[in-house]
Structure 1
């Protein structure tokens, strides 16, 4: 059968399978031995113009038990709720495919960002590298605490949200068989991120995920993978026998030492995620991120929402897609621009100046130094500078009211949103041991998960005190 005809038939089958579950095919965005990744839109998402990715995994040749196991594991993954994990919406089995539906991240994947940086001969600033790495480790700690191993960590499986936050995705649930070097090449291509123990045919454990994170940290800094070779045999030799390369001197001693720890060939010497979060270079970023969450959510008791926007001045979901009375200007500010920021502390609009603006639309203001303000917060609390007359006499001829309608309120504080997570990532089980208590956990998600409850982005990371705020990702 001609290739073109076969592809047309396969395309028709994919569209039919998705259509039965009310998903409209937009385009194919990825393909591999597992099947395909399809950009889709559900019937209920048309008004909001949001999209989803459907990962279609070919399980037509799997046994009934393997199909059932994969479907169960995908449902456990769907219950994961963390700001730095791609949200899984649902999963279903249709026409020989296991279809896993997840949120679409508009910023692409980390692998693409690294490739672009390499081609343009640019390096990522240390601040950016450590921020992305910290977000990834917070997500990893969350799943390890639940006795879930990712088993396929690589830069291509971390995705970037619209606001530039990194999100973990594409869990290795398609690998129903035990993952060893013998099966890795057919399942995930050349295994650049596999640990030495996996290359030697040993069982997968949490320390193997840590090794993969070491590879990703090195890749962000050096813009290339730490181990490379023209064939699988040579690559496995490098991973298992040759010393790991060091992170370039462009980065601090703290970052370089962290890379050495994570790429230690002895799995028992690799620190678990909870310990990584206590390393000074990472702990400092956790503190900064926590301060940002506090700044965006507001810590003061009895805080008041900003007054509603004057009639005719916007409101509702803006054309830019950012909700809030000032969503139409969110993400469009430039450095030096004069704006106003609604202060929860003072209960009024304060004159402010944009001191920095990044490519994702986030800004820093002189009244909140060092805090990146997301598009969502801008839509509720940042507006272009108004003249004195306009402030005194709004378009509706009335002074701004102290209260506001729900549509005009800033993101509300969620009671106890940032809570400490019970840590099961403790060394008490012995270094190098798998967090899972039974063999099935090494084949995917088998732990209990908090149903319907969003996790704190920080948990009890790095000994940080609990804080109240919005635990949702700013993506």
Structure 2
């Protein structure tokens, strides 16, 4: 079971999702737990839900993602947040449901790889559009003292109207007036900035929101080539190569 509360949120206070939402199909996997397409029983609308696995030690990450979505999803380039729900299940374990905007266009990684399979490459104008919109989303986060920390093509989704949305804030970090830098090494290896990797080796190393800009630059290469630089290496080997 989940702990009954995080540092400031009480999971028991959230409504049961089964009163409102019905699972239609599995559509992916997030940092923690699977992602499903769901139907709103009340108005027929569709959404995506990230169902968080009942693991005790991720309550801080759950709370961080919840707080970021609740505070910052009012931007055109950040996935909309429709609410958190708590489902009690003695047999399978309690679940937290994060209900989000459904982005039917898939990830920009899927788009780039699909084009390459057909012998085509993503046009530079399309790459520029994706990067511009993602930067607008990152600017919104950074102005509000939040670092995404896992920017990559799989975390940039498309809507059917061609909108660009940042998703997956499971490892995002909120900065405070007294802590404007971070010193925890997180992210996906091939997209990680050198200063983030350095935190694993040097205890006095720190980084700030600029690490997201590096990761978006790597994403630009990913969109053009289908993969980030060094993707032919083992991820641990890449971690040694990136800072050099």
TM-score range, shorter chain: 0.7 to 0.9
What displacement does 1:112 show? 0.5
What is the CA distance between 1:79 and its match in structure 2? 3.2
Alpha-carbon distance in 1 for matches of 2:207, 2:85: 27
The superposition leaves residues 184-238 of structure 1 with CA deviations (integer Å, 9 ceiling, x where unpaired) of 5xxxxx5221111222224452011111111111112222212324323211122
SS at match of 1:98: strand
Task: Trace 1:199-348 onto structure 2 (pairs within 5 A).
Answer: 199-201=197-199, 202-241=205-244
Relative to the length of structure 1, the TM-score reads 0.41
1:89 aligns with 2:87: no
Give the 5 Å matches for 1:44-193. Answer: 44-46=42-44, 50-62=45-57, 67=59, 70-71=62-63, 73-80=65-72, 81-95=74-88, 96-173=94-171, 179-180=184-185, 191-193=189-191
Show CA shifts across 1:388-430 (max 9, x none).
Answer: xxxxxxxxxxxxxxxxxxxxxxxxxxxxxxxxxxxxxxxxxxx
Cα separation, partners in 2 of 1:229 and 1:68, compared to 1, 3 Å = closer
Structure 1 residue 175: Cα displacement: 8.6
CA contact (8 A) 1:106 1:161 kept: yes
SS class of match (1:27): strand
Matched residue SS, 1:44: coil
Judging changes above 3 Å, is the alpha-carbon distance between structure 1 residues 175 and 141 closer, same or farther for their aligned structure 2 residues?
closer
CA separation of 1:125 and 1:73: change in aligned 2, threshold 3 A:
closer
Q: Is the 8 A contact 1:26 1:38 kept in 2?
A: yes
Partner of 1:318: none
- Which stretches in structure 1 are left out of the alignment for 5+ residues? 1-16, 185-189, 242-475
Q: Secondary structure at the match of 1:144?
A: helix
- Give deviations 1:326-360, integer Å, cap 9, x for gaps: xxxxxxxxxxxxxxxxxxxxxxxxxxxxxxxxxxx
In the TM superposition, residue 173 of structure 1 has moved relative to its aligned partner by 4.3
CA distance in 1, matches of 2:71, 2:31: 26
Verify the 8 A CA contact 1:78 1:87 in the aligned structure 2. Answer: no
User: CA-to-partner distance for each residue in 1:418-455, whole Å, 9 max, x for gaps?
Assistant: xxxxxxxxxxxxxxxxxxxxxxxxxxxxxxxxxxxxxx
3-state DSSP of counterpart to 1:224: coil
User: How has the CA–CA distance of structure 1 residues 36 and 223 changed in structure 2, closer, same or farther, with 3 Å as cutoff?
Assistant: same
- Partner of 1:240, secondary structure, is coil
1:9 aligns with: none
After superposition, the CA RMSD in angstroms is 2.5
Separation in 1, partners of 2:61, 2:189: 24
Task: Flag the structure with higher strand content.
Answer: 2
Distance 1:179 1:120, change over 3 A: farther
For structure 2, the 5+ residue unaligned runs are 1-15, 89-93, 175-182, 200-204
Please report the TM-score for the alignment, with normalisation by the length of structure 2: 0.76
What SS class does the counterpart of residue 163 from structure 1 fall into? Answer: coil
Quick one: distance in 1 between partners of 2:142 and 2:56?
30
Contact 1:75 1:90 in 2 (8 A): no
Q: How has the CA–CA distance of structure 1 residues 139 and 126 changed in structure 2, closer, same or farther, with 3 Å as cutoff? A: same
Change (3 A) 1:70 1:34: closer
Inter-CA distance 232–127: structure 2 relative to 1 (3 Å threshold):
closer
